[in-house]
Structures are given as structure tokens and as C-alpha cells.
Structure 1
Amino acid sequence: MAIALNGPQGHFNGKIGNLVFYMLNGIPVVRRIGRAGKPSKAQRSNHSAMAVTAQLLGNMKDFIKLGYGLQAKGTPQNAHNLAVSFNKKHALKGEYPNIKVDYNKVLLSQGVLALADDLKMVKTATGIEISWNPDCERNHKSYDDSVMIMICHPESNSGHEYLNIARRSEGRCFIGLGARDIHQQVEAYIAFRSADGEKISDSAYLGNLNGEQESPEEKNNREKYEQVKKRFDQVADLYYGQIKENSLENMNDKAFRHLRKEYLVLKEKLGQTPGKPG
């Protein structure tokens, strides 16, 4: 049941038939409720891309809130939705079911403030040293802009947000890493935010440390794929061997029909199993 909060001419709040009425950031919204059927390959691909994006951004909530907050202001969107929308579209690679993050294309903030030149990241024995050119003579940069750093550890699905780790004028900062984190895959990003919070820069990818490692989930997927692939290869050899040797009459016997069914089932399963090399 829906309720007309402001009388018969006002916006409804609730459900009428297969429609749901509600307010989103002060804007009246209506959406239709559909009955879910068996998902198509395109739908499964979309769900997988959304899951990969959600996992990527799951440890960046405060960074994202600042990074896309100004852009979201005055719209029905929120910062997280904008970040998901951009990175799902631009920062993924591969085909379903092997969709992965393209870390070089991830964007964690969008704005008009200028980035710094000469961005560098160096690994030390105890952490990471990040540096930039502190020059502020052009592009409306200011010495007291805040420096924001995002450190991601995809292997452990964790991350560290540094929302005000230094000033632009300092030209460098140091981030200590523990014994576990310093040997993990590291993906790092930097952005600059004005002191009054009214401007922010696009984020920049600082690079990777320790290479791109295989996560426990990726290892499990690879092992499952290899098991299915091994059985598929065995069945495919038998299947095509019998096609080559048998007459058309023998291809209709029960044993061959079972073999053909297993071949087709394994072929479909192999196409839907994540973990394919490359």
C-alpha cells in the first residue's frame, strides 16, 4: 500500500501494484518491480562486473565520499554510486567469467583541482615513500592543498585510506607498512583536495608494488577451471574420435547420446567457469 503524504496531488510513498514510490535525496522516484527469470549471459556478466567493482571500492568508502562528493552534490546520485558507475564502465578488463580490475584505469576522485607533477612511489624496507613536485605557480594550485593517498591490497581485500596525510607544499610523505602488507601486491593512488574542501583533483595511479599476485579466490577459480578443462578435454577426445570412426547409424545409440550430452554440458560449464588463463 502506498501513502499520499501530501494529499492526492502529492508524491506517493510505498507500493502500488508493481510500482514502488519513494524519495531519493529529496527527489520523488518511482521504479517498477519485475519478476526475475533465469539470467542471460549478459546479465551474468553485468552481475560479475558489479561484484568485482563493489569489492574494489569496498575499502575506500571515506576516500570515495570525498573524491566524488562534490560531483554528487545537488543530484539524485551519491558519491559511491558515481564511483561505481565510472569504474564499472572504465576500470575493468577481461570477459565474463574472468572479469578483473584494470588498476591503471581506476579513478577514485573527479574534480577540477590540478594534480602535481613528477609523482613517484618508492618501496623501502619499512614502507612506501611517495613524492611529488610541490610547485604551485600555475593551474590554481595552493601550497596548503591536502594530499590524499589510497593504498590497496587486493590479495587480502584490504586497504588503507589517508585523507590528509600531508600538504602539497611538503612534496613527499611516508607510509609505513607492516610485515604482511609490505610483501603483498600494492596498488596506490593519490589525489589533492583544497583546504576549504571546495575543490578536488582527479586521482592519479601511483603504480604497483610486488607484482599482481593471485588471490585465494583466483587460485580457487583457476583450480576449478583446470579440473573442468581436464575432464572436457578427455570427453572431447572420445566424442570426436567416435564421430570420426562411427557410422551415422551408430551415432544414434544410447552410449553415444550420453557421450554427446556430457560433452555439451561440459562445454557450457567450461564457458561459465571463472579462472581461464589470460
Structure 2
Amino acid sequence: MAKALNGPQGHFNGKIGKLVFYMLNGVPVVRLIGRPGKPSKAQLANHSTMSVTSRFLGTMKDFIKLGYGLQAKGTTRNAHNLATSYHKKHALIGEYPNIKIDYSKVVLSEGTLSVAEDLKIVKTEAGLEISWNPDFQQGKRNYDDSVMIMVHFPESNTSRDYLNIARRSEGKCFLGFMEQQLEQQMEVYIAFRSADGEQISDSVYLGNLNGQKPTKEELHNQYKYESVKERFDRVAKMYLDQCKGTNSEPTNNKAFRHLQKEYEVLKEKLDRTPGKPG
């Protein structure tokens, strides 16, 4: 049941039939609900891109809130919406069901503030040394900009953010890590934010450390894919042999129809199972 809180000419709040009315960031919204049918491959691909993007961005919510917050001001969207939209369109590689993040194309903040030159990153026995040219533009007070750094660990899908690790004028900072963390794959980003919070720079990808390594999820998907493929290959051989008439089994009985159904189900499952080599 929906309620007309502002009278018969106002916006409803609640459910009417298959429609749900509600407010989103001060804007009246209505959407259709109902039992969905079997999703198409295009729908599954869209769900997969959303899942990969959300899983990645979900580890760095505070950074994203600052990085896209200024863009979201005065609109019906929030920082997470903007970041999700960008990364779904520009920072994914591969085809469904093997969709991954392209870390070199990740942008964790967007703005007009200038970034520093001569950005460098060095791994030491105790952590990461990050440096930049501390020169600033006279009269624009860029010297007291805050330095923001994000370090993402794909293997564990975790992130560590540093939202005010240094000032632009310092020209360098140090991030301490345990030995185990220093051996993991790391993807590092930097951005600059004005002291009054009214400006922010585009983030810059500082690079990858320790190379790319398979995550636990990727290893699990590879094992699952290989298991399905092994079963499919066996069933496919039996099915295709009977279709070609290379054995004495008839092709119009219940056993054959069952084999045909299993072949079709496994073929579709294999097509939708992530973890395919290459």
C-alpha cells in the first residue's frame, strides 16, 4: 500500500501493484518490481561488471567519498554512484564471465587541482617511500595541500588509505608495512586535496609492486572451471558419438534425450563459469 503524504497530487510513498514509489536524495522515484525471468547473457555480464566494480570500490569508501564528493554536490547522485559509473565504463578488462579490474585505468578522485610532478615510489624493507616535487604555484597556497594515498592489495581484496599523510610542501612521505604485506601485489595511487577541502586533483596511478598474482577467488574459479570442463568433455564425446552414429546406442530413446539435456546444460554452464585459462 502506498501513502499520498502530500495529497492526491503529491508523490506517493510505498507500493502500488508492481510499482514502488520512494524518495532518492530528495527526488521522487518510481521503479517496477516483479519476479525476474531467466537472465540473458547480457544481463549476467552487466551483473558481473557491477559485482567486480563494487567489490573493488567497497574496500576504499572513505577515499572515494572525498575523491568524488565535490562532483556529487548539488546533484541527485553520490560519490559512490559516480565512481561506480566511471569504473564500469573505463576500468574493466576481459569478457564475461572473466571480467577484471585494469588497475592502470583506475581513477579514485577527479578534480581541477594540479598534481605534483616527479612522482616516485620505492619499496624498502620496512615500507614504501613516496616522493614528489614540492614546488607550488605562488599565490595559490598549494603548499599546504593534503596528500592522499591509496594502497590496494588485490590478493586479499583489501585496501589501506591515507587521507592526510603529508603536505604537498614536504615532498615525500613514508608508509610502514609488515613484511607479509610488502610481498603481496600492491597497486598504489596518489591525489592532492586543498586544505579547505574545496578542491581535489585527479588521482595518479603510481604503479604496481610485486607483479600480478592470482587471488584466492581466481584460483577457486580456475578449479571450478576445470571441473566443469572435465565433465563437459566426457559428456560431449558420448553425445557427439551418438549423434554421428559411431556406436550402437539408439538416438531416439529416453537415455539419449537425458544425455542431450545434460550436454546442453553443461555447455551453458561452462560458458557462464569464470576461470577460463587465457
TM-score under structure 2 length normalisation: 0.91
Structure 1: segments with no counterpart, 5+ residues: none
Instruction: Name the structure 2 match of 1:207.
Output: 207
Instruction: Name the structure 2 match of 1:236.
Output: 236
Instruction: Name the structure 2 match of 1:263.
Output: 263
Q: Deviations over 1:227-275 (max 9, x none)?
A: 1122223333444445555399954455554444333222211111111
Q: What is the CA–CA distance in structure 2 between the aligned matches of 1:262 and 1:185, rounded to whole Å?
A: 40
Q: 2:31 aligns to what SS in structure 1?
A: strand
User: What code does the residue aligned with 2:60 have?
Assistant: M
Instruction: Name the structure 2 match of 1:127.
Output: 127
Structure 2: segments with no counterpart, 5+ residues: none
Instruction: Provide closer, same or farther for how the CA distance between residues 231 and 249 of structure 1 changes in structure 2, counting only shifts above 3 A.
Output: closer
* Greater CA drift, 197-206 or 26-35: 26-35
1:89 Cα deviation from its structure 2 partner: 1.6
TM-score under structure 1 length normalisation: 0.91
Instruction: Provide closer, same or farther for how the CA distance between residues 138 and 245 of structure 1 changes in structure 2, counting only shifts above 3 A.
Output: farther
Q: Deviations over 1:161-207 (max 9, x none)?
A: 10010111111111111122111111111111111111111111111
Instruction: Provide closer, same or farther for how the CA distance between residues 153 and 34 of structure 1 changes in structure 2, counting only shifts above 3 A.
Output: same
Instruction: Provide closer, same or farther for how the CA distance between residues 261 and 35 of structure 1 changes in structure 2, counting only shifts above 3 A.
Output: closer
Instruction: Provide closer, same or farther for how the CA distance between residues 99 and 140 of structure 1 changes in structure 2, counting only shifts above 3 A.
Output: farther
Q: 1:188 aligns to what SS in structure 2?
A: strand
Instruction: Name the structure 2 match of 1:136.
Output: 136
Instruction: Name the structure 2 match of 1:48.
Output: 48
Instruction: Name the structure 1 match of 2:28.
Output: 28
Q: 1:180 aligns to what SS in structure 2?
A: helix
Q: What is the CA–CA distance in structure 2 between the aligned matches of 1:271 and 1:164, rounded to whole Å?
A: 46
Instruction: Name the structure 1 match of 2:165.
Output: 165
Q: What is the CA–CA distance in structure 2 between the aligned matches of 1:54 and 1:22, rounded to whole Å?
A: 24
Aligned length: 278
Q: What is the CA–CA distance in structure 2 between the aligned matches of 1:20 and 1:252, rounded to whole Å?
A: 50
Instruction: Provide closer, same or farther for how the CA distance between residues 132 and 29 of structure 1 changes in structure 2, counting only shifts above 3 A.
Output: same
* Greater CA drift, 137-146 or 42-51: 137-146
Q: Deviations over 1:8-40 (max 9, x none)?
A: 333322223322222222222222224322111
Instruction: Name the structure 2 match of 1:74.
Output: 74
Q: 2:142 aligns to what SS in structure 1?
A: coil
User: What code does the residue aligned with 2:182 have?
Assistant: I
Instruction: Name the structure 2 match of 1:12.
Output: 12
Q: What is the CA–CA distance in structure 2 between the aligned matches of 1:117 and 1:126, rounded to whole Å?
A: 25
Q: 1:69 aligns to what SS in structure 2?
A: helix
Instruction: Provide closer, same or farther for how the CA distance between residues 257 and 23 of structure 1 changes in structure 2, counting only shifts above 3 A.
Output: closer
CA contact (8 A) 1:187 1:209 kept: yes
Q: What is the CA–CA distance in structure 2 between the aligned matches of 1:231 and 1:32, rounded to whole Å?
A: 40
CA contact (8 A) 1:146 1:193 kept: yes
Instruction: Provide closer, same or farther for how the CA distance between residues 248 and 155 of structure 1 changes in structure 2, counting only shifts above 3 A.
Output: same
* Greater CA drift, 17-26 or 159-168: 17-26
Instruction: Provide closer, same or farther for how the CA distance between residues 248 and 123 of structure 1 changes in structure 2, counting only shifts above 3 A.
Output: same
1:49-198 correspondence to structure 2 within 5 Å? 49-137=49-137, 142-198=142-198
* Greater CA drift, 217-226 or 110-119: 110-119
Q: What is the CA–CA distance in structure 2 between the aligned matches of 1:151 and 1:172, rounded to whole Å?
A: 16
CA contact (8 A) 1:114 1:141 kept: no
Q: 1:136 aligns to what SS in structure 2?
A: coil
CA contact (8 A) 1:114 1:139 kept: no
* Greater CA drift, 27-36 or 98-107: 27-36
Instruction: Provide closer, same or farther for how the CA distance between residues 175 and 20 of structure 1 changes in structure 2, counting only shifts above 3 A.
Output: same
Q: What is the CA–CA distance in structure 2 between the aligned matches of 1:13 and 1:137, rounded to whole Å?
A: 52
Q: What is the CA–CA distance in structure 2 between the aligned matches of 1:259 and 1:2, rounded to whole Å?
A: 51
